[in-house]
Amino acid sequence: MKCTRCRKNQAEIELIRHNAAFCRDCFVDFFHLQVQKAIKQWKMFSKDDNILIAVSGGKDSLSLWNVLVELGYNVSALFIDLGIDGFSEKAFAKVEAFSNKIGSKLIVVDLKKEGIPIPKVIKSVRRHPCSVCGQIKRYYFNMVAIKNDFDVLVTGHNLDDEASRLFANVLHWKSEYLQDQAPLLPSENGLKKKAKPFFRVTEQEIAAYAFFKDIDYFVNECPLSKGAIFSFYKKELNRLECESHGIKIEFYQGFLKEIRPLLQNAKKDRNDKITFCERCGYPATKNGLCSVCNIKEKINLKK
């Protein structure tokens, strides 16, 4: 099979949802174009912006880091060491090696030094590890971005992630989460502007990009993520995609075009009063503290 784009070289990857097949070079160009379209469509950031990318060592974040650097953006990375022995140090090794390879700045937050390594936290907080871990990571993403005066925070969430999250939020009718689901969230209420340039590409496409660009990423799953319901939603959407190619992007784009504007109008009509943590200045949840300061308080009380 010849490459759909150049029509000269042998195709190395077929993308059924795009009705196309590409050789290696043409696929990389196509992949970059999808990211550029996402950035332009949502006016995510410019070449003049100071960008902070959250990296975990996995294929998504390292691939996005690579794409943005190759496209000429000013990017620094943030790695949060979760303090999971036998796991976090291996993930960090991949991130550090990649940072050295591409010559890009890396910032590290060590949760052990912060007093809240994830294994310690989950013993004190009665929630699924993925939920509380995500909450803590979002906190430090924002705090580091604010402290270092970054213009925008970007993450490697892809189409599979966003469609699965939308699927879960619709099934449970979590309107407050649906209102805030989009490839771009503005800077407001003490939170930095956040962008997801990979929302047009799938996990499989990112894996192919990482392979073609020889990106050495961390492949192990977090040992604390067992039983996460999010994985179930992803599998179901993958099954639907096999039966109806393109259903994920149609589902997600349809939501952004038809439903999200209605939710945004409803959000504007609300008069939510925002309070800020008396200790760190982050948006507060209860007791005058933010979610992370509340977690620290619980851990200290159990000492």
CA distances from residue 83 to 106, 131, 170, 197 in whole angstroms, order as listed: 18, 16, 33, 28
Residue 149: pLDDT band with limits 50, 70, 90: very high
Any idea what the CATH number is for the domain that residue 62 is in?
3.40.50.620
Answer yes or no: is pLDDT of 160 > 90. Answer: yes
DSSP state, residue 114: T
- The predicted-structure confidence for 231-261, as pLDDT tens digits, reads as follows 889 999 999 999 999 999 999 999 999 999 9
- The predicted-structure confidence for 84-120, as pLDDT tens digits, reads as follows 999 999 999 999 999 999 999 999 999 999 999 999 9
Answer yes or no: is pLDDT of 268 > 80. Answer: no
DSSP string of 211-236, one letter each residue = HHTT-----PPPTT-TT-HHHHHHHH
Answer yes or no: is pLDDT of 34 > 70. Answer: yes
pTM as predicted: 0.94
Task: Answer whether residue 77 is part of any domain.
Answer: yes
Q: What is the pLDDT of residue 286?
A: 79
Coil/strand/helix, residue 204: helix
Structural domains counted in the chain: 1
Answer yes or no: is pLDDT of 303 > 70. Answer: no
CA distances from residue 211 to 206, 208, 215, 217, 281 in whole angstroms, order as listed: 9, 5, 6, 10, 42
Q: What is the pLDDT of residue 270?
A: 65
- The predicted-structure confidence for 223-232, as pLDDT tens digits, reads as follows 988 877 888 8
- The predicted-structure confidence for 280-299, as pLDDT tens digits, reads as follows 999 998 789 999 999 999 88
Task: Answer whether residue 6 is part of any domain.
Answer: no
**CB 189 within 8 Å of CB 274:** yes
Task: Answer whether residue 21 is part of any domain.
Answer: no
Residue 186: pLDDT band with limits 50, 70, 90: very high
**CB 62 within 8 Å of CB 213:** no
Q: What is the pLDDT of residue 166?
A: 97
Task: Answer whether residue 138 is part of any domain.
Answer: yes
DSSP state, residue 14: E
Residue 133: pLDDT band with limits 50, 70, 90: very high
CA distances from residue 250 to 172, 244, 253, 280 in whole angstroms, order as listed: 20, 10, 5, 41
Task: Answer whether residue 198 is part of any domain.
Answer: yes
Separation of alpha carbons 149 and 202, rounded Å: 31
Residue 256: which domain range?
A: 42-272
Q: What is the pLDDT of residue 20?
A: 97
Task: Answer whether residue 182 is part of any domain.
Answer: yes
Helix boundaries (H) for the chain: 24-41, 59-70, 88-102, 118-121, 129-147, 159-171, 175-179, 203-212, 229-243, 247-254, 260-269, 291-301
- Residue with token string 């620290």: 296
Task: Answer whether residue 296 is part of any domain.
Answer: no
Q: What is the pLDDT of residue 127?
A: 84
DSSP bridge pairs for 185: 194
Q: Quote the tokens at residue 265.
A: 């109008």
Task: Answer whether residue 294 is part of any domain.
Answer: no
Computed over every residue of the chain, the mean pLDDT equals: 94
First to last CA, the chain: 64
Q: What is the pLDDT of residue 237?
A: 95
DSSP state, residue 87: T
Of the candidates 97, 100, 195, which has an alpha carbon nearest to the alpha carbon of residue 145? 195
Q: What is the pLDDT of residue 242?
A: 94
**CB 111 within 8 Å of CB 80:** yes
- The predicted-structure confidence for 205-215, as pLDDT tens digits, reads as follows 999 999 999 99
More confident residue, 79 or 273: 79
